[in-house]
Chains A and B, each alone.
Chain A
Amino acid sequence: MQLFGVLIPEKEQLIATASDVAKGKAGLALYVSLFGLAIGFYAIAAIFIQGHAHTINTSNLVPWGLQISTYIYFALLSTGCTFVNFFGHVFFEKQYKPFASRIIFVGIITAVAAFFSLATEMGRIDRMYNFLLSPNPKSPMFWMAIWYTSYLIVIIWEYINIQTNKHSEKVMWGAFFVAIFTHSTLGSLLGSVSSRVYYYSALMPIYFLFIAFLTGCSLTTIIAAITVKQKKLDEKYHLHPFVTLLKVGLGLALVITFWRTMIGLSAHLGGSEVFSLTLINSVLFGIVVVIVIPYILLKMGNSANWLIFVGLFIMGTQLKARNDLVVGAFKIPLFRVYDMPEVVHYTPSIYENLVVVASASLVMVLYIVFERSGVFEARNIKEGH
């Protein structure tokens, strides 16, 4: 079936998938993600029906919590997919081609999943129309909305081009630069907040881009490794670009994480003690666990299964790292009043955790359904002819 020239799953294939689910033949991944989607949507419904007071653990001291970090995490995953798509096409054209439509499709659905998480954090999501009726061009958040919309349009355009075998270099370059603008603006949203020393940094937009590259590389490595296994492609030949990009991503993440921490430690500004508070976490988790260990793991093997494990390891640790970044800024209260703790602690509620599950499950379900429907294959078959 086609929509504006783009292949979407046929009705019969969707019915067949539903039938497989009913018969217990759909595969563990689809069952797990459908279950995740069900409980995640229950949590989202509960947040909208019961309100934040009964479901969310954020407060005046911690105004942004796990939902915002999940939003950032998925937005960065999406950017990373666009980056990998760009570098894949430019430097590894033949090795990368079998994965192109999958990767840019995941770029789109992770961007949508990011919105799911963001929507549950907003106090009044029903008033989003005010971005159009009452815009504030001074606000990085306003520009993020503009860029994000442009970004979604351009990556959908890129996907259409890939799917219809009309890949345009101009659109690919456009997607790459719009991704840079969009997600550096997201970085500036935190980096321009002078009152929060943990955020306030000119490095933040670059930090976001480098981390986006790393997380995108890990996700696309998993997709490529699974595809290589399913289609019985040459592992060494097709996975080589992903391993190379992953190593570059780890190197970039190491440089930016190290300097962000060092500059923060030497800032000596009011509130900068948060860098000392999080120093052990920054070095042990932020550098050793998130960067050094994955690099060692990469050196230990290059098989598809091993790369899936390394990719999952990086994605898991990055989710915690994003939460540490977002919540870290609120550890030291700005105005220490009699009933406020000296160091603020925040534990996400079960509903907040389930929002993460909902976003991840949405990506998995959509990817698996499209994959089972053979949408990504159709292009290769066409090319083969």
Chain B
Amino acid sequence: MEQFDGKDILDIMHADLQRALKKPRKERRWAMAIDLKKCIGCHACTTGCMSENLTPPDIHYRPVKEEEVGEFPNTGMRFLPRPCFQCDSPTCTPVCPVTATYKRDDGLVVIDYKKCIGCRYCIVACPYGARSADSGHYYTGDFRDKTYEVENSGEYGETFKRKSHWHSPIGNARKCHFCIHRVEKGELTRCTTTCLGSATFFGDINDPKALITKLISKPNVFRYKEEIGTKPMVYYIP
């Protein structure tokens, strides 16, 4: 079991989360850190996320980029998991013509499925390709019994059933939301709990005692495409 200062990291992050939830929402700043040395490219986070959010085919909130580095015989694999970066200066929210996607006071970039008109402008504007359009595909295709696939995913703590293309979130833009429906109930994000290599860390970076705050304070920590000024809230530990 992965430990930090002799304690299980999941227990530490869980305690951090409970402490954060006691604060008013606007005083929290949710962030994620991913230790690239520990990521083994197992895609457990991807599949965990898919089962948590019941994402349809072709929609992955958290894919893992795989790269082969070096030249034979000195080769290796490198993995880069990519959730939504919940940018502090997002490029997706200003372009939404109907304010269906916006930044909450705790820093999360969310989508109001009841407002979204499905114009896909946010998908075009996101520099990370972190957004997807739910066109209404089902794993079961035209099979009549799609009970599992129309089930309520509980995203954003609300009830949505994908019964037809006139039922949200079909027709909407979708993306990772740091499992806010779990987090607000005091549970860690699904990708954090399913990570086999214990490479994913989640917490409130406004809390100086939180594990994530300690991890991201290291000098070699970087953020993806930081130079474009989006101020992502996902930190990579090389």
Contacts and interface: CB of A to CB of B under 8 A. Distances in A.
B97 A193 contact: no
Interface in B128-143: 128-138
A284 interface: no
B116 A123 contact: yes
B152 interface: no
Contact of A329 (B96, B116, B124): B124
B126 A195 contact: yes
Given A193-B95, A333-B129, A126 B116 contact: no
Q: Tell me the interface secondary structure of chain A in the complex.
A: loop
Nearest to A196: B124
A282 interface: no
B171 interface: yes
B120 interface: yes
A136 B94 contact: yes
B126 to A, nearest CB: 6
Contact of B118 (A60, A123, A329): A123
Interface in B19-60: 58-60
A126 B166 contact: yes
Interface residues of B, number: 49
A134 B129 contact: no
A139 B95 contact: yes
A247 interface: no
Contact of A335 (B82, B99, B121, B136): B82
The listed residue with most B CB atoms (<10 A of its CB), out of A64, A121, A123, A142, is A123
Interface string A125-164: 1111011011110111110010000000000000000000
A316 interface: no
Contact of A139 (B65, B94, B132, B166): B94
A123 B126 contact: no
B221 interface: no
B100 A63 contact: no
B97 A145 contact: yes
B40 to A, nearest CB: 14
Contacts of A381: none
Contacts of A56: 135
B127 A334 contact: yes
Nearest to A132: B98
A134 B99 contact: yes
Contacts of A136: 94, 96-99
B164 A142 contact: no
B165 interface: yes
Contacts of B170: 51, 123
Contacts of B121: 139, 141, 189
A94 interface: no
Given A59-B58, A135-B98, 5 more contacts: A52-B133, A53-B137, A123-B116, A134-B100, A339-B63
Interface of A: 50-54, 56, 58-61, 63-64, 121-128, 130-131, 133-136, 138-142, 145, 189, 192-196, 270, 329, 333-339
* Closest A-B pairs by Cβ, 10 of them: A123-B118, A51-B165, A123-B171, A195-B127, A130-B98, A53-B136, A334-B129, A335-B129, A141-B97, A142-B97
